[in-house]
Amino acid sequence: MDPLFDFTGKVVLVTGGSRGLGRQMVLAFAERGADVVIASRKLPACEEVAREVEAKGRKALPFACHVGQWDAVGKLADAAYERFGRVDVLINNAGMSPLYPSLEEMSEELFDKVVGLNFKGPFRLSAIVASRMAKGAGGSIINISSTASLNPSPTSEPYGAAKAALNSITRSFAFAYGPKVRVNCIVAGPFLTDIAKAWDMDTFNKHSAPRLALKRGGEPNEIVGAALYLASPSASFTTGTLVRVDGGTP
Q: Which residues are catalytic?
A: 159
Q: What is the DSSP letter of 118?
A: I
The arrangement of strands across the sheet holding 181-188 comes to 60-64, 35-40, 11-15, 89-92, 139-146, 181-188, 242-245
Q: Which helix (H) or strand (E) holds 44?
A: helix 43-55
Residue of 145, 142, 129 whose CA lies nearest to 76: 129
Q: How crowded is residue 219: how many other Cβ atoms within 10 Å of its Cβ? A: 11
Burial (Cβ within 10 Å: 0-12, 13-18, ≥19) of residue 248: exposed
Cα–Cα distance list, 81 to 92, 101, 152, 183 (Å): 17, 42, 39, 20
What's the CA gap between 141 and 159, in Å, rounded? 21
Residue of 77, 59, 171 whose CA lies nearest to 121: 77
